[in-house]
Amino acid sequence: MSHLIIKEWKSLQEKILVRRNLINSLELSLALLGWALKFKKSNNEVICNLYADYFKYYERLNPHDYNFHKKWYDLDELLDTILGTNTNDYRRPIVIVRDILWEIIAFKTDILCENCGQDEYRLFESLQNSQDLVLCCDNCSHTIGLNNEFPQDIPNKYIPVKKNNLQLSKFNPSNFAD
Ligand SMILES: [Zn+2]
């Protein structure tokens, strides 16, 4: 079982290595989502559960909505993480792919978390009303509703802010070079 995930991981690494100097964030996120999708309909229950736990969330998101011009991460570093991770632990690639997808898709602001001070907030929009925005900290889950004082159920009712959300222009991305 674990052998299958490691085999697919090596195949993903080879695919990305060939495109190393050409790949952009959109192409990378599509490649990672395509990789994850291979495990959705696996005959193996453990693999299916891994897919559900780590990747089902992304089914409702279209990577083309997250092709931001401003970047808050270093794409080269993300690629280095993928290409440099050679492991026999099948969970490592799953976690890395989930984390990199999150890094690319969830817009990170330059606003430091006022609760933990360890990370900057990511920006979310309500599925019902895209003008209803929420700041949320990855590190401690501290949440600030910008339009709604008590936002409820962020994982189900909010998604990472889309690039065409007009409100996004009011926010600066985190500066990864800091
Ligand atoms: Zn925090």
121-164 pLDDT, tens digit each: 999 999 999 999 999 999 999 999 998 888 889 999 999 999 99
Locate 53 and state its tokens: 């736990």
Instruction: Tell me, in angstroms, the distance from the centre of ligand 1 to residue 151's CA.
Output: 17
Cα 98 to ligand 1 centre (Å) = 20
Distance CA 77, CA 14 (A): 17
Rounded to whole angstroms, how far apart are CA atoms 109 and 121?
Answer: 6
Whole-model pTM: value is 0.94
Report how far ligand 1's centroid is from the alpha carbon of 137 (Å). 5
Q: Where are the domains of the chain?
A: 2-105, 108-170
The string of DSSP codes covering 23-64 is: --HHHHHHHHHHHHHTTTT-S-HHHHHHHHHHTGGGGG--GG
Closest CA to 57 of 92, 98, 93: 98
**What is the DSSP-derived secondary structure letter of residue 173?**
B
Amino acid, res. 163: K
Residues found in the chain: 178
Pairing mode, if any, of strands 120-126 and 108-112?
A: antiparallel
Phi, psi (rounded to 5 degrees) for 43: -75, -15
39 alpha carbon – ligand 1 mean position (Å): 32
pLDDT, one tens digit per residue, over 14-23 is 999 999 999 9
The values of phi and psi at residue 38, to 5°, are -60, -25
How far is the C-alpha of 144 from the C-alpha of 146, rounded, in Å? 6
| pLDDT tens sequence across 39-86 | 998 889 999 999 999 999 999 999 999 999 989 999 999 999 999 999
Q: What tokens appear for 64 in the block?
A: 């083309």
Q: Which of 109, 100, 106 is nearest to 30 (CA)?
A: 100
Question: If you measure from the C-alpha of residue 32 to the centroid of ligand 1, how many angstroms do you get, rounded to a whole number?
Answer: 27
Q: What is the mean pLDDT of residues 25-47?
A: 95
User: How confident is the model over 159-177, as pLDDT tens digits?
Assistant: 999 999 999 999 999 997 5
Is pLDDT at 2 greater than 80 in this prediction?
A: no
